[in-house]
Structure 1
Amino acid sequence: MSESNNSGGLTEYITHHLGHNTGTLLGGKFHFDSWLVALCLGLAFVAWFSFFARRATAGVPSKGQAFVELVMEFVDGQVKDTYHGDRRSVTPLALTIFMWVVFMNTMDLIPLDLPAILVKLFAGEEAMHHTYFRLVPTADLNTPAALSVTVFFILIGHALAAKGGFGMGKELLTAPFHAHGLVARIILSPINLVMNIIEWLVKPISLAMRLFGNMYGGELVFMLIAGLMSGWVTFLPGVIANAAWGIFHILIILLQAFIFMILTVVYIAGARESH
């Protein structure tokens, strides 16, 4: 499915495809390729669902409307089973996370060398070797980290809305180890605070690393197959290997989006509950 550049070997081929189209923003490096692809896919999701939402009918739905309704019912059912409060804000969040992550993960199924081939056609071979563009935003740690940090602040918002600032602060100091005496509470409060800080920080870190690790690993497998199976002699085995891994990778794409969504809902439910 892809053609590798054998002159530099497999290592150079993989290194090139792991490179980002970077620039400088606010004094630091910024991955424009991950940002651009994620933005376009997010807008595509909003446009797609908005299109069918505006044209929804009470009668026999079209295939597009039926699919959108099926996805929404599936997500709402998962939220209903996990979160027992008011779902009016949680279900749209879960739907957005699920579909957006699915869209970004699905970019892993596009042939690796497609950007390079397009650059070669329009700018020449020399430009191709110096142009970097990664198509999978979730294989870039910055994207899962940004999503996880956003979820982290949403969790804090839900906790404050449910318990208030005083209630949340009290919980950080008095749980999970409860004490009845004043001296015992003073002694245990630093331990409780450290335990709660660790618990809160683990949530976004686990969300980001789980999604990034799976998608980055899947992308590396595609690169290895493309690099090892290049050339006409191994073209057919390469196509078969890519197709087989692609079919299996579809399960990973959907599963990782589902896990990210469901863990977000679980964390929201936990943030609104007391110890």
Structure 2
Amino acid sequence: MSSGNVEETHSEAASHGAEAASHGASLTPGEYIQHHITNWTFGEGFWAINLDTMIMSIFCGVVILLFGRYIKNRVTEGVPQGSQNFMEMVVEFVNKNVDDNYPGHNPIVAPIAITVFLWIFLMNFFDIIPVDLIPGAMEAMGADNYRAVATADLNVPMGMALVIFILTMYYSFKTKGGEFAMEFVTHPFGKWLAPINIIMKAVEELAKPLSLGLRLFGNLFAGELIYLLIAALIPWWLHWLGGLPWTIFHVLVIVLQAFIFMVLSIVYLAMAVSSDH
């Protein structure tokens, strides 16, 4: 390669680096926010896949599995310490909620509850990491856009809510059989108003997964948006002043939303097997 070509290549690299460094500063607040709430997507239309959501949700799932394996291999008798103590507290907390809300015994309810709680909590946790840190690193590696908070993508909360909905339908028909089917015809106005009953019962059942998923999505999307507004509208050297109070409050939101999703999942499964519902 000639010296002229080398100089040209170095000049282009320097120009590209300067452009990347000034990219965030050159965007208007609206463009900056729009950029950060746009997913890194593969494909188009209905079959499009949000790659960033897939990466973050799978990453969080793998972290939970590895952490569980780590705890399992280091379980000791006597007074638990460190991570074992934390995990035992979480398990006891979840088991207590299952015992308080679910009648009888079902071997999959507690595992579902603890999986939901830990997975949502970890995905939510990325909302308090500086908004440009993970997206900036991933975009430097070739991602067009990157959203680090999987639960701020509607697909994840609604996908999890759909799984809970399918389980509630399965256990409703398994436990009640024809009685559950008759609820669609006779509840709440009796058999003479069956068409209205069917519509109202369908709305009642569909409202469960919709409210479950939309509640989680709305809270995490709002939290993400506030961080972006702080980053876009406040000078960088004052970000901590606006971000710290919101982070302290948002930590509570992160835990609370994981807890609410878990408890409602248990309650909906309990309603599915309860004969007095």
Aligned partners of 2:185 and 2:135: how far apart in 1? Answer: 55
Aligned partners of 1:4 and 1:74: how far apart in 2? Answer: 46
Aligned to 2:119: 100
1:26: how far off?
8.9
Aligned to 2:151: 138
Tell which structure's C-alpha radius of gyration is larger. 2
Aligned to 2:161: 148
Aligned partners of 1:106 and 1:91: how far apart in 2? Answer: 22
1:60: how far off?
2.8
Q: Does 1:176 align with 2:188?
A: yes
Runs of 4+ more than 6 Å apart: none
Map 1:66-81 to 2 at 5 A: 66-81=85-100
1:66: how far off?
0.8
Aligned partners of 2:158 and 2:201: how far apart in 1? Answer: 20
1:27: how far off?
5.7
Q: Secondary structure at the match of 2:201?
A: helix
1:191: how far off?
2.2
Aligned partners of 1:258 and 1:161: how far apart in 2? Answer: 27
Q: Secondary structure at the match of 2:265?
A: helix
Aligned partners of 1:63 and 1:133: how far apart in 2? Answer: 34
Aligned partners of 2:65 and 2:44: how far apart in 1? Answer: 27
* 211 and 116 in structure 1: CA distance in 2 versus 1, 3 angstrom threshold: closer
Map 1:149-164 to 2 at 5 A: 149-164=162-177
Q: Is the 8 A contact 1:34 1:137 kept in 2?
A: yes
Letter in 1 for 2:251: I
Q: Does 1:60 align with 2:88?
A: no
Aligned to 2:37: 18
1:58: how far off?
2.7
- TM-score normalised per structure 2: 0.86
Which structure is higher in RCO with an 8 Å CA cutoff and minimum separation 6? 1
* 116 and 108 in structure 1: CA distance in 2 versus 1, 3 angstrom threshold: closer
Aligned to 2:65: 46
Q: Does 1:37 align with 2:56?
A: yes
Q: Does 1:207 align with 2:208?
A: no
Aligned to 2:235: 230
* 247 and 4 in structure 1: CA distance in 2 versus 1, 3 angstrom threshold: farther
Count of residues in Structure 1 that have an aligned counterpart in Structure 2: 255
Q: Is the 8 A contact 1:4 1:230 kept in 2?
A: no
Q: Secondary structure at the match of 1:5?
A: helix
Q: Is the 8 A contact 2:94 2:110 kept in 1?
A: yes
Aligned to 1:114: 133
Q: Is the 8 A contact 1:174 1:192 kept in 2?
A: yes
Letter in 2 for 1:140: D
* 30 and 119 in structure 1: CA distance in 2 versus 1, 3 angstrom threshold: closer
Percent sequence identity is 38
Q: Is the 8 A contact 2:138 2:146 kept in 1?
A: no
* 199 and 116 in structure 1: CA distance in 2 versus 1, 3 angstrom threshold: closer
Aligned partners of 2:138 and 2:153: how far apart in 1? Answer: 22
1:11: how far off?
0.8
1:238: how far off?
1.4
Aligned partners of 2:23 and 2:109: how far apart in 1? Answer: 44
1:34-93 Cα offsets, whole Å, 9 max, x none, are 111001101211221232134323323231111100000001111111112204221111
1:142: how far off?
0.8
* 27 and 256 in structure 1: CA distance in 2 versus 1, 3 angstrom threshold: closer
Q: Is the 8 A contact 1:80 1:87 kept in 2?
A: no
1:154: how far off?
0.9
